[in-house]
Amino acid sequence: MSHRPEYPRPQFVRANWLNLNGAWDFAFDDGDQGLEERWYDPANVEGRFPQRIEVPYVFQSALSGIGRRERHDLLWYHRTFMVPAGWREGGQRVLLHFGAVDYRAWVWVNGELAAYHEGGHTPFQADITPLLAETNHLVVRVEDVITDLTQPRGKQFWQEQSAGIFYTPSSGIWQTVWLEVVPAVHLTRVQLTPNVSAGTVTIACTASSPLPATAACEITFGGKFVASAEIALEGGSGEAVVAIPNARLWSPEDPACYDVTLRLSTGEGRPDEVRSYFGMRSIEVVDGKIRLNGAPYTMKLVLDQGYFPTGLLTAPSDADLRRDVELAREMGFNGVRKHQKVEDPRYLYWADRLGLLVWGEMANNYRFSETGVRRLVAEWQEVIARDYNHPCIVAWVPMNESWGVPALQQEPRQRELLQALYHLTRALDPTRLVISNDGWEHAYSDLCTIHDYSSDAETLYARYAAMEEVLAYRPSNRPLYVGDFRYEGQPILVSECGGIAFRLGDEQGWGYSTVTDEEAFAASYGRLVGALQRAPLLQGYCYTQLTDVEQEINGLLTYDRRPKLPLEIIRAINQGRSPEPEAQAERLPALAPA
Question: pLDDT-based confidence at 505, cuts 50/70/90?
Answer: confident
Residues 365-394 have pLDDT tens digits of 999 999 999 999 999 999 999 999 999 999
- Average pLDDT score over residue span 295-310: 98
Question: By three-state DSSP, how is residue 11 classified?
Answer: coil
Closest CA to 280 of 431, 486, 97, 110: 431
Q: In the chain, what are the domain boundaries?
A: 17-182, 187-278, 305-498+513-518+536-547
pLDDT tens digit sequence for 430-485: 999 999 999 999 999 999 999 999 999 999 999 999 999 999 999 999 999 999 99
Q: List beta partners, residue 511.
A: none
Percent of the chain with pLDDT over 70: 97
Name the fold adopted by 17-182: Jelly Rolls (2.60.120)
Name the β-bridge partners of 544.
Answer: 498
Interatomic CA distance for residues 472 and 467, integer angstroms: 9
Instruction: Check: CB of residue 23 under 8 Å from CB of residue 39.
Output: no
pLDDT in tens, 237-264: 999 999 999 999 999 999 999 999 999 9
Q: What top-level class would CATH report for the domain 187-278?
A: mainly beta
Matching CATH number, 305-498+513-518+536-547, of 3.30.1490.100, 3.20.20.80, 3.40.640.10, 3.20.20.60:
3.20.20.80
Kindly report the number of other CB atoms within 10 A of residue 326's CB atom. Answer: 14
192: left (phi > 0), else alpha (psi -120 to 50), else beta? beta
DSSP 3-state of 185? coil
Neighbour-count burial of 508, counting CB atoms closer than 10 A to its CB (0-12 exposed, 13-18 middle, 19+ buried) = exposed
Question: Band of the pLDDT at 160, cuts 50, 70, 90?
Answer: confident
Look over the chain and give the mean of its residue pLDDT values, rounded to a whole number: 95
Give mean pLDDT, residues 101-116: 98
Whole-number pLDDT of residue 578: 61
Report the distance separating Cα 89 and Cα 386, nearest Å. 30
User: Does residue 507 register a pLDDT over 90?
Assistant: no
Q: What is the pLDDT of residue 580?
A: 52
User: Is residue 383 within 8 Å of residue 345, measured between CB atoms?
Assistant: no
Span 223-230, average pLDDT: 97
Regarding predicted confidence, which is higher, 498 or 504?
498
pLDDT single digits (tens) 71-101: 999 999 999 999 999 998 989 999 999 999 9
Share of the chain above pLDDT 90, in %: 94
**Closest of 191, 190, 180, 183 to residue 267, by C-alpha:** 183
**Confidence (pLDDT) at 482:** 96
Q: Average pLDDT for residues 178-205, to the nearest whole number?
A: 98
Predicted pLDDT of residue 2: 59
Q: At what angle do helices 412-428 and 370-387 cross, to 10 degrees?
A: 20
What would the mean pLDDT of 354-362 be, rounded to a whole number? 98
- Could you read off the pLDDT of 24-75 as tens digits, one per residue? 999 999 999 999 999 999 999 999 999 999 999 999 999 999 999 999 999 9
* pLDDT tens per residue across span 546-589: 999 999 999 999 999 999 999 999 999 999 976 554 444 444 44
CA atoms of 353 and 356, how far apart (whole Å): 8
Q: Is the pLDDT of residue 333 over 50?
A: yes
Residue 563 pairs in a beta bridge with: 557
Antiparallel, parallel or unpaired: β 492-498 and 136-143? unpaired
For residues 509-515, average pLDDT: 92
Cα separation, 117 vs 101, whole angstroms: 8
- Per-residue pLDDT, 577: 77
CB atoms within 10 A of CB 477: 6
Q: What is the DSSP string of 83-121?
A: PPTTTTSTT-EEEEEES-EESEEEEEETTEEEEEEE-SS
Q: Are 206 and 213 in contact (CB under 8 A)?
A: no
